[in-house]
Amino acid sequence: MAVITIDKVSRWFGNVVAVNDISMRIGPGVTGLLGPNGAGKSTLIHMMSGFLGPSAGEVTLDGAPIWRNQQVYRQIGLVPERESMYDYLTGWEFVLANAELHGLTDPGAAARRALALVEMEYAQDRKAGTYSKGMKQRVKMASALVHDPDVLLLDEPFNGMDPRQRLQLMELLRRFGADGRTVLFSSHILEEVEQLARHIEVVVAGRHAASGDFRKIRRLMTDRPHRYLVRSSDDRKLAAALIADGSTAGIELDGQEKALRIQAVNFQGFTTLLPKVAQQAGIRLYTVSPADESLESVFSYLVST
C-alpha cells in the first residue's frame, strides 16, 4: 500500500501561483489528474516525483517527504513528459542502465522483464533516437517499471500516441492499478481519463476543483447550464415556443448577431426539445452551436460550484 499525500501544498514561481493550497491523497488503483493545459498538473507531478519543492505544505509518500529524499525512488517509477532520453543508447542499453542505477541485483533480468511488459523487445536493439513517439513512451515506461515500483507517476503519457498504442498503454496501466499499485497519470483530455480512471482529481488554474468518482464528476459536468447560439427562420417565434418548456432557463435575442442566445438547464432535455419545438412551429433551424463546450469552460464551471 503506497499512498501519496499532498497536504495544503502551494507552489509559486515569482509572482505566479502555479498550485494553490491543494490537498489530496492518491492511493492504490488508477487515478487521473485532469485539468486544462497550464492548470498546474505538471507542477503537481513534479512535486510528487521530487523534482520541485513545494513553496508551502508537504508532499509525502507513506509519511516520508518526497522532496530532497532520494530513497523514495526505490518505490516510485516516473514517466516524464519530455521526450528526451539518451538517444545514443539502444532501448535495451537504456533500460539496463536504469536497472543498474537502481542497484538491482540482476539488472539484466529486470530489464528483460520490463521490456517484455511493454512489448518492446522487437525494437530493443535500435537506437532510441530512431524511435517513434509511442515507442519512446513505451521504453520510458519500461525504464520506470524496471525496479517493480509501488507507485507509477506519468505526466501526459498519451500525448502523441496513436489509438492502438493508447489502448495498449491503458490496458497496461489498468493492470497495474488492479495489482494494487498506485498509478497516477495526468491528462487534459476528458475522454482519456474517462476510459481509464475511476477516481479523478480535477485541477483548474492551480486549484483543486473536484475529487472523487469519475461518474459523479461527469454528471456535474453535463448537468451544468449549457449555452447555445441558435439561428432560425423565425427567432422570436422559436424563443416564445422554447421558453414555455422547463429545460430552458433563459433566452436572449441578440440583435447584432441576429441569433438567439439560449441557456439550457439540462443538456439531454434541451437537445431533444429544440428540434421537436422547431418542427411543430414550422421553423427552420439554420445554426445550433454550443457556445461554451470548451474544456476550459467545463472546468471553470466546476470551480465556481
Partner 1 sequence: MNPTVARLTVRGLLGRRRGILLLVVPAVLLVISLLARGSGQDKHDLAASILGQLSLGTLVPILGLVVGTGVIATEIDDGSIVYLLSKPLPRWQIITTKLAVAIATTWAFAALPTLLAGLIVYGPGDGLAVGYAVGALVSGAVYSALFLLLGVATRHAVVAGLAYALVWESLVGNYVDGARTLSVQQWGLSVARSVASDGMINSDVALGTAVPLLIGVAVAATVAASVKLAGLTLVSEE
Q: Which residues bind partner 1 (CB under 8 A)?
A: 18, 37-43, 46, 49-53, 68, 70-71, 73-74, 76, 78, 80-82, 84-86, 88-89, 94, 97-98, 100-103, 143
The DSSP secondary-structure symbol of 149 reads -
SS3 13: strand
Least distance between partner 1 and beta carbon 201 (Å): 16
Q: Select 92 or 94, whichever has its Cβ closest to partner 1.
A: 94
Q: CB–CB of 8/56 below 8 Å?
A: yes
Least distance between partner 1 and beta carbon 236 (Å): 46
Q: CB–CB of 248/264 below 8 Å?
A: yes
Q: Select 53 or 275, whichever has its Cβ closest to partner 1.
A: 53
Q: Select 84 or 304, whichever has its Cβ closest to partner 1.
A: 84
Q: How far apart are CA 141 and CA 72, in angstroms?
A: 18
Least distance between partner 1 and beta carbon 248 (Å): 38
Q: CB–CB of 260/236 below 8 Å?
A: no
Least distance between partner 1 and beta carbon 55 (Å): 11
**Where do we find the cell 467545463?**
298
Question: H-helix or E-strand containing 133?
Answer: helix 133-145
Q: Select 50 or 274, whichever has its Cβ closest to partner 1.
A: 50
Least distance between partner 1 and beta carbon 10 (Å): 15
Cell numbers representing residue 133 in the block: 513517439
Least distance between partner 1 and beta carbon 21 (Å): 18
Beta bridge partners of residue 199, listed in sequence order: 31, 213
Q: How far apart are CA 305 and CA 302, in angstroms?
A: 5
Q: Select 18 or 170, whichever has its Cβ closest to partner 1.
A: 18
Among 296, 278, 280, 301, residue whose Cα is nearest residue 288: 278
Q: Select 80 or 177, whichever has its Cβ closest to partner 1.
A: 80
Q: Select 37 or 287, whichever has its Cβ closest to partner 1.
A: 37
- Burial label for 117, CB within 10 Å (0-12, 13-18, 19+), is middle
Least distance between partner 1 and beta carbon 147 (Å): 9
Beta bridge partners of residue 253, listed in sequence order: 260
